[in-house]
Amino acid sequence: MPPTSTTTRPAPPRPSGLVYLGLAGLAVVAFILFWITRESGDVLLIPLGFVTLWAPLNPVIALVVMLAALALCFKARIGTMGAFGALAFIIMSYWAGATINFTLLEIPERWSNVEPRLMAFMDPNWSYIWTVRDQWLITISMAVVATLIGCAIGLVLAMYASPVSSPNKGTSQAIKAINSVIRSIPDVGWALLFVAFIGGTAHGLGPMAGILALLMFNIGIVAKLLSETIDAVNPGPVEAADASGANLTQRNRLAILPQVLPGFVSYGLYVFELNIRASAALGIVGVGGIGSAMMLQLNRFQFENVAAILIALIAVVLLVDMFSMYIRRKLL
């Protein structure tokens, strides 16, 4: 028998009906805005005998979805903030889709174009993978070199960036700012810069530019992740190292590094995986390797070869993934 309670249980909270009504009003306002700013000419016609109601199709669908969502939230007693969030999400999605004309409807329209390419894709030319084995080597060596050097530099930068391990607050802020700048340029951006400054595959310097681009990309990631790990380190051993008379470098090496080592290896493997994928993408901007080969085949419409390369790429990334899980298990 369940225990009898002398206190009455509280009723579940009910969100404010007034606010929901307000949100419904917001939905109607949004509907009007969609109507006014519509670009598509599709119209919904509802004949009612003596009068025909008409309204532009997409805004009506949006209104129905919004009101249905609000009704659902109210029924589920979702709080007003949550309902507002759902409404905002729908409005944003509609607005974004309308602005860039995103509907999947266009794919069936272009099917005559899509189909032969898709068919070629489904039938990969396996022997091509062997043909481009040199490119594979270039891609993987770019990834390895960039990972090793990037992790080393990232480690030093992280030590200076985290206030726990850096000599003073000023240095830490400065290095963090520099790191933010490095991270705000994507890997493709760095690749374009280096190819422009140093020269791409035409000069035989493609992989060099690729490694440099990946390096900048890696340093940004490793320094940020590692400095956050250093912030979270157990301060006890650090205090003990200080009390033994260690200088800053010694205490970082003896008390902080052993604690962040598992994280560091983890980030290194993560970055290696990113590098393999990135160097495939960077090939498009001229650093050589498997990306260049893929670009070439795409331009020649040889989709069987592209498919083969992609599938091999998936296999390589999966292998690296399994390898990194194995290493992590061994280390921890």
Partner 1 sequence: MITFENIDVVYPNGFKGLRNVNLQINKGEFVAIVGLSGAGKSTLIRTVNGLVPFTSGTLTVGDVVVDPRSKTKLRRLRSRVGMIFQSFNLVSRVSVLNNVLVGRSAETPTWRSLLGWYRAEDKELAFQSLERVGIVDKAYMRASSLSGGQQQRVAIARVLAQDPEVILADEPVASLDPPTAHKVMRDLRRIQQELGITTIVNMHHLDLARSYADRIIGMRGGEVVFDGPVEEATDEVIEQVYQRSLTAEDIVTADTASE
- Site of interaction with partner 1 (CB under 8 A): 236-237, 239-247, 249-251, 253-255, 258-259, 261
285: which DSSP letter?
G
Residue 291's closest CA among 304, 302, 279, 276? 279
Residues 6+ apart with CB under 8 A from 79: 13, 15
Q: How far is the CB of 258 from partner 1 (least distance, A)?
A: 5
Check: CB of residue 139 under 8 Å from CB of residue 273: no
Of the pair 165, 275, the CB lying nearest partner 1 is at: 165
Of the pair 30, 233, the CB lying nearest partner 1 is at: 233
CA dist., res. 282 & res. 188, Å (int): 6
Q: Angle at Cα 44 formed by Cα 40 and Cα 45, nearest 5°? A: 140
Q: How far is the CB of 292 from partner 1 (least distance, A)?
A: 41
Q: How far is the CB of 100 from partner 1 (least distance, A)?
A: 51
Q: How far is the CB of 142 from partner 1 (least distance, A)?
A: 29
- Helical spans, DSSP H, in 162-205: 169-184, 187-198
Backbone angles phi, psi at 286, to 5 degrees: 110, 25
Q: How far is the CB of 59 from partner 1 (least distance, A)?
A: 58
Q: How far is the CB of 256 from partner 1 (least distance, A)?
A: 9
Of the pair 115, 239, the CB lying nearest partner 1 is at: 239
Q: How far is CA 268 from CA 28, 147, 320, in A?
A: 51, 7, 12
Of the pair 181, 243, the CB lying nearest partner 1 is at: 243
Check: CB of residue 248 under 8 Å from CB of residue 160: no
Q: How far is the CB of 234 from partner 1 (least distance, A)?
A: 8
Sign of the CA dihedral with 264 first, then 267, 272, and 278 last: negative
CA dist., res. 212 & res. 182, Å (int): 13
Of the pair 16, 250, the CB lying nearest partner 1 is at: 250
Of the pair 155, 287, the CB lying nearest partner 1 is at: 155
CA dist., res. 42 & res. 295, Å (int): 39
Of the pair 67, 254, the CB lying nearest partner 1 is at: 254
